[in-house]
Amino acid sequence: MGKSKALAKREEEFEQLLMASFKEVRLLKARRFLRCFARLGTIMEAAKAAHVSPGNHANWRKDPAYLAAFDLANEFVTDELERIAKDRAKKHSDLLMIFILKARKPEMYREQRVIVGDPSNPVKHEMRINLVRTEPDNRENYYPALPALGPGTDSD
């Protein structure tokens, strides 16, 4: 299924905005890192591809121009991941669709708890969720590759 003209135009405009924001960043290494991040989607992979230490990112965040460009790049990555998730949800996963709906329209799809009791003697309610991150053996096949930004993404 192809992209609509409106979506393609929005992506092109966003890409131009992203590239313009990168030009505000003075350090060439930081610009290279930002382009890699927008294409790959993770700080570790971007640092490796840009041949910089991941710790540089933390230092560069002190620069307002870099921080603004990184926030925009992160928005670009999130939009692309959301598009991929929606495509997968439509084709394969009801559970993924549930999470997307909860995130996009929480007032309608979030889990609701109603506790009935004596108002003068409130009930303490606590919920904890422990998340454990697991890494698959083959990261290349697990994480989808994000599309390149276009011409000029590997310069500097």
DSSP letter string, 72-102: HHHHHHHHHHHHHHHHHHHHT-HHHHHHHHH
Q: What letter represents residue 87's amino acid?
A: D
Q: How far apart are CA 74 and CA 37, in angstroms?
A: 8
pLDDT-derived band at 122 (thresholds 50, 70, 90) equals: low
**CB-based contact 77:36 (threshold 8 Å):** no
Q: State the DSSP code for 147.
A: P
| Percent over 70 (pLDDT), the chain | 71
Q: How far apart are CA 126 and CA 34, in angstroms?
A: 40
Ranges of each domain in the chain: 5-135
Mean pLDDT of 38-59: 94
pLDDT at residue 124, as a whole number? 66
Longest dimension (CA), the chain: 67
Q: How far apart are CA 48 and CA 69, in angstroms?
A: 19
**CB-based contact 84:48 (threshold 8 Å):** no
Q: How far apart are CA 46 and CA 39, in angstroms?
A: 8
- The number of residues making up the chain comes to 156
For the entire predicted model, the pTM comes to 0.58
Q: Is the pLDDT of residue 143 over 90?
A: no
Q: What letter represents residue 64's amino acid?
A: P
